[in-house]
């Protein structure tokens, strides 16, 4: 299924605090700034610490963006099975839904005829690579791989910039490895 729609990206990211939802959205938005004239990033999270609802909307386009907030999106990413019920109907027809596999059972699997639903083992992949904290980067790689809306190079550059002061080359290398693994999962 082709997800490039007139060079426009919309992604709703949903999860719980501590999974790197806001970080993922921020990185995608900053990478998109290198390739698109218009970018909007709108994070929303509960005032609780880890474990509270967290979501983020990222939009990028060569055309003007009328609002940074949308209800239905061309792309929906869910990290955390508890958020499936809230977001399963928020993907537009023809869109893409990426769901992290932790906590997924036959009962809560999303079945849609009008959207491309893909399950991504981001937590398992990140754990195997050595850092469960990089599951969000695995999901980002899956999104970039599935849509082709942002170049791999723009994300890798953003990873280098973001993590340069947070552990240097070792952290940057681990983050890039997680992102590249996500590209391969789709």
134 vs 1: which has the higher pLDDT: 134
The confidence score (pLDDT) of residue 2 equals 39
Q: What is the pTM of this model?
A: 0.92
What's the average model confidence in pLDDT over 169-175? 95
Q: Is residue 156 part of a domain?
A: yes
Mean pLDDT of the region 146-155: 97
Residue 176 lies in a domain: yes
Report yes or no on 160 lying in a domain: yes
Residue 93: Cβ within 10 Å count: 10
Confidence (pLDDT) at 51? 65
Contacts of 72 (CB under 8 A, 6+ apart): 90, 91, 92
Assess whether pLDDT exceeds 60 at residue 180.
yes
Helix axes of 168-185 and 152-163: crossing angle, nearest 10 degrees = 150
Residue 149's alpha-carbon distances to 26, 29, 108, 163, 166, in angstroms, are: 16, 12, 29, 23, 28
Structure confidence at residue 54 (pLDDT): 85
* pLDDT of residue 6 exceeding 80: no
Report if residue 4 sits inside a domain: no
Is residue 78 over pLDDT 60?
yes
Q: Judging by DSSP bridges, how do beta strands 53-61 and 9-16 pair with one another?
A: antiparallel
Q: What pLDDT, on a 0 to 100 scale, did the predictor assign at position 45? A: 74
Give CA–CA dist 161/89, Å, rounded. Answer: 35
φ, ψ (nearest 5 deg) of residue 98: -110, 125
Cα 154 from Cα 88, distance rounded (Å): 29
* Counted domains in the chain: 1
What is the span of the domain harbouring residue 164?
9-185
Q: What is the CATH number of the domain that holds 97?
A: 3.40.920.10
**Domain contains 55:** yes
Task: Check residue 162 and report its DSSP letter.
Answer: H
Distance of CA 67 to CAs 64, 92, 134, Å? 9, 17, 30
Tell me whether residue 3 is in a domain.
no
Within a domain: 2: no
Would residue 22 count as lying in a domain? yes
Tens of pLDDT, residues 10-67 = 999 999 887 899 999 999 999 999 999 999 999 987 655 566 788 999 999 999 999 8
pLDDT in the model for residue 36: 97
Rg, the chain, Cα only:
15
DSSP string, 168-181: HHHHHHHHHHHHHH
How do residues 92-120 score in pLDDT, each as one tens digit?
999 999 999 999 999 999 999 999 999 99
| Residue 168 confidence (pLDDT) | 85
């Amino acid at each position: 299924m082709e997800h490039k729609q007139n060079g426009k990206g919309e992604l709703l990211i949903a999860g719980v605090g501590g999974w790197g939802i806001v970080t993922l959205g921020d990185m995608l938005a900053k990478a998109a700034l290198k390739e698109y004239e218009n970018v909007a990033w709108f994070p929303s999270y509960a005032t609780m610490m880890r474990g509270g609802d967290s979501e983020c909307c990222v939009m990028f386009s060569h055309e003007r963006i009328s609002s940074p907030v949308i209800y239905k999106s061309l792309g929906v990413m869910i990290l955390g099975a508890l958020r499936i019920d809230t977001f399963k109907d928020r993907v537009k027809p023809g869109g893409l839904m990426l769901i992290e596999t932790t906590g997924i059972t036959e009962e809560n699997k999303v079945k849609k005829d009008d959207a491309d639903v893909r399950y991504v083992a981001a937590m398992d992949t990140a754990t195997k690579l050595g850092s469960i904290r990089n599951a969000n980067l695995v999901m980002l790689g899956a999104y970039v791989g599935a849509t082709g809306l942002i170049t791999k190079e723009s994300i890798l550059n953003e990873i280098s910039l973001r993590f340069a002061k947070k552990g240097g080359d070792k952290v940057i290398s681990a983050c890039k490895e997680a992102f590249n693994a996500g590209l391969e999962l789709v």
